[in-house]
Amino acid sequence: MKKTGFLIILCTAPNPATASQIANTLVNEHLAACCNIIPGLQSIYSWDGQVCTAEEVLIIVKTHAAVYKKIEHRIQEIHPYEVPEILAFSVRDGQTDYLKWVGDYVKSD
């Protein structure tokens, strides 16, 4: 099995309900094989010339690079932020059976 082309995507959300909606959409539409939701994230960031602090929720998305643009589009449709955080990282290697499962589930037509 080819072990390249897989991605981990990080996306923050303002609350658990929004994170759950995004994660469920991505998995139900076969754009991601798995999403982890991690609550209790404190973000400190610059926005409109001010330093802001917010409680957020982190979504970790396991997917394939072939569907990245679809994922980006779907998150932007659902997400309430004007500029949502959507950061993708290439997976250099991983457990073969896990990557096969991700690749078999994600619809990369």
CATH node for 6-88 = 3.30.70.120
pLDDT per residue over 34-66, tens digit each?
Answer: 999 999 999 999 999 999 999 999 999 999 999
Q: What pTM did the predictor assign? A: 0.93
Measured CA distances, 55 to 8, 12, 14, 69 (Å): 22, 10, 7, 27
Our CA dihedral for 29, 33, 38, 44, rounded to 10 degrees, sits at -70
pLDDT per residue over 3-27, tens digit each?
Answer: 679 999 999 999 999 999 999 999 9
